[in-house]
Amino acid sequence: MQISYSADEIRALVQPKKEQGQTAATIRGIASLDAAQPGDLSFLGNAKYKAQVAATRASLVLLPMDFVGTPTEGQIFFWVDNPSAALARLCKAIEQALWPKPQPGVHPSAQIAPGAQVAASATVGPLCVVEEGAEIGEAGGADFDGRRGAGGLVRTAGADGAGGGALDAAVAVGRGPARRRAV
Domains and CATH numbers, the chain: 7-98 (3.40.1390.10), 101-183 (no CATH)
Q: Which of 14-28, 36-50, 133-147 has the lowest mean pLDDT?
A: 133-147
Residue 11 pLDDT exceeds 50: yes
In this prediction, residues 95-107 reach a mean pLDDT of 85
Calculate the dihedral angle through the C-alpha atoms of 175, 180, 147, 151, rounding to the nearest 10 degrees. 0
Integer Cα distance of 164 and 69 in angstroms: 46
Cα–Cα distances in Å, from 127 out to 84, 124, 176?
Answer: 36, 9, 19
Per-range mean pLDDT, top range of 64-68, 100-104, 156-160, 161-165: 64-68
Instruction: Tell me what pLDDT residue 151 has.
Output: 32
Mapping DSSP to helix (H, G, I), strand (E, B) and coil, where does residue 15 land?
coil
Query: 26: which DSSP letter?
Result: P
Instruction: Tell me what pLDDT residue 10 has.
Output: 97
Angle at 39 between CA 33 and CA 43, to 5 degrees: 30
Nearest to 86 by CA among 151, 5, 148, 143: 5
